[in-house]
């Protein structure tokens, strides 16, 4: 059971944990669980590889080639990785394949970007001065990814970190570690030198030890807001850099003039893909008066027909929640919504049948009559639950959409091109879709306003997160200036 990867060596540890299939509740695999000793060893290996190893002195083109070779290996192992992701997270096999393709594209994008990052010249206002800005790696980076998109979210961190010349210590969620183990093996196969990529497994205390370690220069974390606050506090000691993506409570605004059938179809996808376990899920549906009642009725009817099941079953449209504990948390929000006066229009319960007995399933759930004071509207549920609010005027829609402490993503549906641009410009969210939902591009920044986090992943800014900018000022014709007369 050699699942930890430290300084180029696969090793075991004293403790182990079970990895479960959310669709069956059965153990898929046992994996090693790191302790403080392994954290020290991994950070130490990354530090040595950064300070004295060859990686820091490689060219950007050489680093890009490593990423490109890794992308080729991801293509080779696509089906195995997609199946493992489905088993580990519960998502459908089709979603798993999309994830692996997206991971491959992220590695390709940063492979290309690495070679184009040449810094810039600065006009110093003198013919005898050459002034330039160069980019250097930050150092040792602790990369901590969540359980809902374990491989994809890790790729958003590890690809730019390596492209910039950093060394890394990876920790996936203890709930879904399997594809990250495979990714580290692929990076090793692609030629990553010992100590450049290190892997630790285990629950929260392992991540906390990484964050607190004085040998770490940067922490990148995707996950919950409360954990993000703790990371910022820990990183303040030593003034280490942090990059945080902390989820969202995302508005999906539908105007009466939108293409009705398309908006309805995408509203279902926005809320229920991967059982709503998506940081950018369209969990807050905000619908104009003229179509509100019909839209809610049709949404509920369609939600009731969604086929819930094992992600490996081709007939399944959405899978289980990731764990029994997480399902219980989502069910708690459903109970509170009923207590606060929301109207249950669909779902709200576990599906019945012998095929569902041992898995962590929950029916897609629709609530109408929702108001801003309800916990289910304010807080990130992270499950197959959508709330519906109504509005009359454009200004009302904007006010509702922005009335959140989060600001990760949102969408507007309208056939009025001017209105689309006005509303998109007014929304305080890091990504705004117009007449669409959920697509992202590796070359476009991803991140949020407010409590949705700090910094950006993807795009050129995603590379900049892992770089230090240095100003090199050279006087090419120095002569005495006689600054002092003595």
* Distances in whole angstroms, Cα of residue 290 to Cα of each of 195, 390, 391, 423, 484: 60, 10, 9, 18, 80
Is there a contact between 251 and 387 (Cβ–Cβ < 8 Å)?
no
Is there a contact between 246 and 451 (Cβ–Cβ < 8 Å)?
yes
Name the DSSP class of 434: E
Distance, CA of 284 to chain centre:
19
Q: Which two tokens stand for residue 415?
A: 């056939």
Order of strands across the sheet with 385-391? 343-346, 365-368, 385-391, 284-288, 251-254, 409-413, 431-434
Distance CA 271, CA 281 (A): 5
What are the contacts of 227-236 at 24+ separation with CB within 8 A? 228/453, 232/454, 234/208, 235/211
Is there a contact between 366 and 343 (Cβ–Cβ < 8 Å)?
no
DSSP lists the bridge partners of residue 469 as 135
N- to C-terminal Cα separation, the chain = 74
Q: Which two tokens stand for residue 277?
A: 């376990």
* Distances in whole angstroms, Cα of residue 480 to Cα of each of 93, 483, 484: 71, 8, 11
The number of CA neighbours under 13 Å toward the Cβ of 237 is 9
Phi, psi of 27 (to 5 degrees): -75, 125
Name the DSSP class of 149: S
Q: Which two tokens stand for residue 136?
A: 């250097």
Is there a contact between 429 and 449 (Cβ–Cβ < 8 Å)?
yes
Angle 250-251-254 from CA coordinates, rounded to 5°: 150
Alpha helices in 77-132 (DSSP H): 78-89, 93-114
> Of residues 33, 85, 245, 394, which has the active-site annotation?
245
The number of CA neighbours under 13 Å toward the Cβ of 255 is 22
Active site residue 380: no
Distance CA 295, CA 217 (A): 50
Is there a contact between 242 and 165 (Cβ–Cβ < 8 Å)?
no
Q: Which residues are catalytic?
A: 245
């Amino acid at each position: 059971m050699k699942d930890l990867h430290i300084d180029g060596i696969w090793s075991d540890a004293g403790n182990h944990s079970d990895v479960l299939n959310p669709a069956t509740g059965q153990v898929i695999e046992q994996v090693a669980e790191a302790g403080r000793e392994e954290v020290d060893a991994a950070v130490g290996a990354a530090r040595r590889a950064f300070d004295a190893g060859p990686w820091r002195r490689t060219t950007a083109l050489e680093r890009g080639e490593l990423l490109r070779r890794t992308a080729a290996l991801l293509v080779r192992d696509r089906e195995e990785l997609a199946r493992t992701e489905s088993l580990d997270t519960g998502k459908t096999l089709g979603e798993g394949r999309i994830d692996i393709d997206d991971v491959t594209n992220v590695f390709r994008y940063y492979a290309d970007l690495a070679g184009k990052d040449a810094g810039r010249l600065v006009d110093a206002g003198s013919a005898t001065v050459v002034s330039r800005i160069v980019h250097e790696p930050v150092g040792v980076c602790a990369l901590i990814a969540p359980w809902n998109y374990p491989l994809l979210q890790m790729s958003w961190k590890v690809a730019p970190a390596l492209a910039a010349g950093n060394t890394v210590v990876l920790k996936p969620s203890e709930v879904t570690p399997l594809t990250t183990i495979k990714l580290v093996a692929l990076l090793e196969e692609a030629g990553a030198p010992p100590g450049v990529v290190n892997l630790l497994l285990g629950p929260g205390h392992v991540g906390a030890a990484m964050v607190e370690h004085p040998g770490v220069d940067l922490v990148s974390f995707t996950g919950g807001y409360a954990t993000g606050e703790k990371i910022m506090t820990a990183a303040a000691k030593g003034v280490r850099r942090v990059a945080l993506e902390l989820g969202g409570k995302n508005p999906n605004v539908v105007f009466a003039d939108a293409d009705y059938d398309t908006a309805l179809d995408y509203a279902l996808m926005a809320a229920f893909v991967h059982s709503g376990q998506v940081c950018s899920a369209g969990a807050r549906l905000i619908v104009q008066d003229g179509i509100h009642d019909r839209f809610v009725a049709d949404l509920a009817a369609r939600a009731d027909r969604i086929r819930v099941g094992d992600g490996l079953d081709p007939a399944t449209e959405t899978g289980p929640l990731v764990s029994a504990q997480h399902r219980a948390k989502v069910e708690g929000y459903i109970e509170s919504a009923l207590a606060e006066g929301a109207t249950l229009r669909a779902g709200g319960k576990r599906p019945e049948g012998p095929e569902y007995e041992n898995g962590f399933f929950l029916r897609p759930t629709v609530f109408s009559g929702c108001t801003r004071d309800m916990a289910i509207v304010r807080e990130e549920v992270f499950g197959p639950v959508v709330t519906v609010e109504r509005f009359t005027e454009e200004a009302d829609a904007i006010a509702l959409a922005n009335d959140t402490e989060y600001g990760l993503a949102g969408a507007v549906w309208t056939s009025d091109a001017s209105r689309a641009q006005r509303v998109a410009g007014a929304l305080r969210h890091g990504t705004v879709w117009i007449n669409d939902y959920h697509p992202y591009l590796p070359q476009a920044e991803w991140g949020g306003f407010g409590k949705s986090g700090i910094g950006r992943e993807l795009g050129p800014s995603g590379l900049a997160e892992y770089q230090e900018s240095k100003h090199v000022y050279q006087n090419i014709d120095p002569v005495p200036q006689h600054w002092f007369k003595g």
